[in-house]
Every structure is written in C-alpha cells, then in structure tokens.
Chain A
C-alpha cells in the first residue's frame, strides 16, 4: 500500500515537472515570445523594451529556473490584458468551471451507470439496446455541435432554458448535459462491458449453481467488482471535463476557466495562458492521485500488496 502511494505521488511530481517544462516552452514555440505577445503594430523598440522587461533576453535555462521558482509560489506574472496577477484571475473563474464539470459528472454517472449495469446484466434487452446507442452517440456526436442544436431547439424554439450565461439556476442544464455526453457514453460502455465480463466469471457461476437469488448475485457479487474500474474512470473523466470545457463554455458564454482560456489565447495574453494551463494540470494531477488512493481503498488486492 505504502509503495503504491509513493509511486503514485512520484509519478504526479514527474508529471508536474513535465507540465512546467511544457508551459514554459509553449510560449516560445514561435521563437520570440516578446514578438508573439505584443500586437503586430508594436515598433521594434517597444518589442526590445518588452523583451528586457519580461527578462526574455536572459539565457533559456535561467529563464526556466526563474519561471519554475515563481510558478512554485503561484506567481505567473501579470495578465497582459487585465493588468492583474494571473493566478488570482484564474482562481476567480475556477468555481464556475468546477460547478459545471461537477453537475456534468453527476448527470453522466446517474444516467450511465444504471443503464450500463442493467444493459450488461441483460444483454439484448431493450435497456441494453438503449445503453449501446448512448454509448455510440457519446462517441460520435461532437459536443459543440450538440450545443448549437440544443440552443436552437430548447432555448430559441421552446424557450425552456436561457441561451447562455450563468444568471439563473436553469442556465447550467444545457452546458452540463453537453459536457457530460462524451463521459456518459464512455461510462455506459465501460459499465456494460465490465458487468458482461463479470457475469461470465467462475465465481458468478458458482453462486448461481448453489442457488443464490439473481438479485443477490447481482448486487453482492457482481456490483462490487464492477465498481473498481468505474472509480478510476470517473476520477479521470472529471479532470477531462475540466480541460474539455474550453469549447462548451465558449458556446454558452459560461463565465469559467474554459472561456477564459479561449479568450486569453485569442488576445495572446500568454501569462494568463500559462497560469490556466499549469493550474488546470495541477488539479487534474491531484485528481489522479486521489483516484489512485480511492482505488487502493476499494480494491483489497492493492491494499495488501
């Protein structure tokens, strides 16, 4: 157990170092970060002054160490657009994104898991057909397109929900549903195949042959084992939604991190871009570590290793 946790934490540290390197070089992909950050009308003198001001004239390793040291204490410099420290801006937008991803995750879990469980336990039944269709739709319908169609149907024609914003409680329904679609499909498929596989295992056959009621077999024996892979995928999917909300938030004008990410990249506000990329990655990595721990708690095979 201890070794498992240590390896999980080491891995997280390595990933964060990788994220740091990537966010640092991301801004330098075009060669000159000063020229990339300023508008095209900036004079050569302005670019040179900006380069000096941001410290881009120093050797790369020094720049990186400086960047890493500052990132460690949460200092990503000032946003070029808001002229405020980048990290507090990110933190300010975080609750809206967490709320959106949280509601989306709940929607996905509440719809997908029962469907997958029943579908997997009764292959070929009507419920199973629905489960398989949702599994396929989650993979084949682009979320941003579904968002547009839902706006036309439910916001413009039927007027059930507002088209955008975060002013009323109903406003979260459409963006959350659209964001949940991909995860919903993945969860349905995983739950279904996981149950299908377990129902064919020897210990289920044994339970059947000794005359246990189908309900007892399903809830006491099958469900427990089917839950193990689901815990890991749910943790990963939540992180995926946090990063994946960049398009959905833009469509629905949801005032979260994703929309800020799309905006800051279009106005080339790179300190803010770096802060968002790094901060989101930290959350995703933290989620992975927590998932690993949850995994260890529910799977005795890992706990007693």
Chain B
C-alpha cells in the first residue's frame, strides 16, 4: 500500500523495511518447523488441518461424483467394507443414491467457509472493540465490558438457535450470526491483552520517548495481539464448525439442498436404524476437523502464550 493513496499520519506506517520483514518471515517459518518437529500432537493437528483445507479447496477435483446427482437405483448402498458395499461408492450412498464420499468432501466447504468468515468477522469486530475498550479505558471501557458480559452470560446455543430460526436458512445468515455473537470472545481477549501490554516496560518506555498513539498501537500493541488472537481464532473456528453442524442437525443452517455435514446428519436420522452410515459418516468428518483444530490450537497456545490458558473458560 503506497503512501499517496492513503496519506496516513506519520507513525501509522509500520517502520519495518521490506527486506528485513522478508528475512524475518523465512526465519520464522524455519523456527515454526523446528517447534513442530518436537510436538507430535501439534504436527498431527497441522497435517490434519492442511488436509481438511485442501479437501475444501479441491472438492470439485477430487470428488468422484456430483454431490447432488441422485441415482435411485443405487440408493442406500453401504460403505465398501460392509457386506453389499461397492468400491465405486467407497463410503456408500444416501437415501437418494447420492455418493456419500463426494457429499462429505463438499461438506467441508460449508464448514470451513462458516468457520473462516465467522472468525474473520468476529475477530475483526472483537479486535476493534477490544482495542477501543482497552486503550480508552474509563467509562467507554465500562460500557463495552458490560455489553460483553451480557452476551457471554446468555445461554448461547439457545439464542443462536432462535436467531437462526427467525432469520431463515442461508449461508450468509449463519456466518453473520456466528460472526456477531462470537465477537465478544475476541473483544475480551483483545482488551485483556491491551491492558497488560499498556503496563509493560516497552510500551511505557515508548510513551516516555514521546511516541504517538498510532505508533504505539501499530508498532507495539498490534503485533503482540496476533499470537493470542490466533489461538482464540483456532478454538472459536472449531466451535463454529460444531455449532453450524448442530444448527444443520436441527434444520436451521444452510438450505437443505446444500451438502453440509449438519444437513447430512439430519437427513440420515430417519434412516438411522436400517442405514446408519448416512448420518454417522459425516460425523466422523466433523470429529477429524475439530480434532485437527483443537490439536492446532493447543499447540499454538503452548508456543505462543502459556498465560492465555486462564483467559478462557
């Protein structure tokens, strides 16, 4: 971003020269790889998460069938390893003869989209609100904290279910609901970190040498927020993927025609006794994804900031 387009006040521009940033990045990647090799669970989390992301991105390429294509002649086929299963439908087919594997692969797109954009919105709002609260203090902080406490004191799932039911089924609604209702979580962590950083020696010394507010904010406070917020983001994304599937299970998430893990669980429920794989297999995909994100989150928390453990419930 060039200075002519935005003309920010001096101090708002990060002072780091480009070359230095690049070598720092390369060094950091090496550092991270070294840390990973020491932690088996963390490594597993990173690999699984990468697999899930790749699945979502390349779903149209790797899916053997169109996830929406019905074929009633081949409906309710069990997975290949069970009696009556066929290898042309490795995970079987559902009640309408749609290929389970293709639907599960495509389902990762809904889950990751909701998780990613939900966290992006919640993190964006939370970061802004938390910065204002922590940096301004006083009455503004008190009002914001009260609002945060109100939202965090609610029976969360119940309200999410009600709001989703009232707004109706759409991907955008689900993303907005999670993005907005989850922002207090990020705001609280941001505020706590800002308060802690403001008392730290290096911010105090920056103030004492006359650094501007903008410079302190962008050079000293924001970079230190990345770690804690990244950790929270991982856990919250995992929670959103959970809740999205839960909403789908109640028939309140994306439209029924969209292949999503929650919708598949819900659709397979009435065939639970005779054709259990229709609703149990998508659940396995949810478990793998949330396992990946939790291992990743635990690992991030351990390497980035052990103190964060207490900030969360």
Which residues from 260 to 301 on chain A have a C-beta closer than 8 Å to any C-beta of chain B?
Answer: 261-262, 265-266, 268, 270, 273, 276-277, 280-281, 284-285, 288
Q: Which residue of B lies closest to A262 (CB)?
A: B250
Give Cα A227 to B6, complex, Å: 55
The answer to whether the Cβ of A174 comes within 8 Å of any Cβ in the partner chain is no
Q: Is the interface of A mostly helix, strand, loop or mixed?
A: helix
Residues on B with C-beta less than 8 A from A152 are: 272-273, 276, 280
Residues on B with C-beta less than 8 A from A139 are: 238, 290, 294
0 or 1 for each of B139-178: is its CB under 8 Å from A? (1 = yes): 0000000110111011111110111011110000000000
Residues on B with C-beta less than 8 A from A29 are: 163, 166-167
Residues on A with C-beta less than 8 A from B276 are: 148, 152
Residues on B with C-beta less than 8 A from A247 are: 157, 246, 249-250
Which residues from 246 to 292 on chain B have a C-beta closer than 8 Å to any C-beta of chain A?
Answer: 246, 249-252, 265, 269, 272-273, 276, 279-280, 283, 286-287, 290-291
0 or 1 for each of A207-250: is its CB under 8 Å from B? (1 = yes): 00000000000000000000000000100100110111011001
Give Cα A276 to B161, complex, Å: 12
- B272's partner among A11, A148, A233 (CB-CB below 8 A) is A148
Given A136-B294, A284-B153, A144 and B161 touching (CB < 8 A)?
no
Residues on A with C-beta less than 8 A from B252 are: 265
Would you call A144 and B265 a contact (CB within 8 A)?
A: yes
- A273's partner among B150, B157, B162, B242 (CB-CB below 8 A) is B162
Residues on A with C-beta less than 8 A from B147 are: 18
Would you call A140 and B294 a contact (CB within 8 A)?
A: yes
Interface size on B, residues (CB 8 A): 42
Would you call A265 and B161 a contact (CB within 8 A)?
A: yes
The answer to whether the Cβ of B309 comes within 8 Å of any Cβ in the partner chain is yes
Residues on B with C-beta less than 8 A from A240 are: 155-156
Q: Which residue of A lies closest to B166 (CB)?
A: A29
- B280's partner among A18, A145, A186 (CB-CB below 8 A) is A145
Residues on A with C-beta less than 8 A from B272 are: 148, 151-152, 156
The answer to whether the Cβ of B56 comes within 8 Å of any Cβ in the partner chain is no
The answer to whether the Cβ of B127 comes within 8 Å of any Cβ in the partner chain is no
Given A26-B162, A26-B163, A273-B162, A281 and B154 touching (CB < 8 A)?
yes
Give Cα A141 to B280, complex, Å: 12
Residues on A with C-beta less than 8 A from B158 are: 243-244, 246, 258, 261, 276-277, 280
0 or 1 for each of A1-38: is its CB under 8 Å from B? (1 = yes): 00000000001001100110010001101100000100
CB distance from A283 to the nearest CB of B (A): 9
Residues on B with C-beta less than 8 A from A266 are: 165, 251
The answer to whether the Cβ of B114 comes within 8 Å of any Cβ in the partner chain is no
Q: Which residue of B lies closest to A247 (CB)?
A: B246
0 or 1 for each of A132-173: is its CB under 8 Å from B? (1 = yes): 000010011110110011011000100000000000000000
Give Cα A142 to B250, complex, Å: 14
The answer to whether the Cβ of B245 comes within 8 Å of any Cβ in the partner chain is yes
Residues on B with C-beta less than 8 A from A122 are: none
Would you call B161 and A148 a contact (CB within 8 A)?
A: no
The answer to whether the Cβ of A193 comes within 8 Å of any Cβ in the partner chain is yes
Residues on B with C-beta less than 8 A from A18 are: 147, 150-151, 154
Residues on A with C-beta less than 8 A from B18 are: none
Would you call B265 and A145 a contact (CB within 8 A)?
A: yes
Residues on A with C-beta less than 8 A from B290 are: 139-142
Residues on A with C-beta less than 8 A from B280 are: 145, 148-149, 152
Q: Which residue of A lies closest to B147 (CB)?
A: A18
Would you call B162 and A265 a contact (CB within 8 A)?
A: yes
CB distance from A134 to the nearest CB of B (A): 13
Q: Which residue of B lies closest to A283 (CB)?
A: B155
Given A145-B283, A233-B313, A243 and B165 touching (CB < 8 A)?
no
Give Cα A144 to B246, complex, Å: 7
Would you call A15 and B283 a contact (CB within 8 A)?
A: no
Residues on B with C-beta less than 8 A from A142 are: 242, 245-246, 283, 286-287, 290
Residues on B with C-beta less than 8 A from A244 are: 155, 157-158
Residues on B with C-beta less than 8 A from A151 are: 272
Would you call A14 and B246 a contact (CB within 8 A)?
A: no
Give Cα A22 to B156, complex, Å: 12
B residues apposed to A, CB below 8 Å: 146-147, 149-151, 153-159, 161-163, 165-168, 238, 242, 245-246, 249-252, 265, 269, 272-273, 276, 279-280, 283, 286-287, 290-291, 294, 309, 313
Q: Could you list 24 examples of A-B contacts with CB < 8 Å?
A: A15-B150, A15-B153, A19-B150, A26-B159, A29-B166, A30-B168, A136-B291, A136-B294, A140-B287, A142-B290, A144-B246, A145-B283, A148-B276, A148-B283, A156-B273, A236-B313, A240-B155, A242-B155, A247-B157, A247-B250, A265-B162, A265-B165, A266-B165, A280-B158
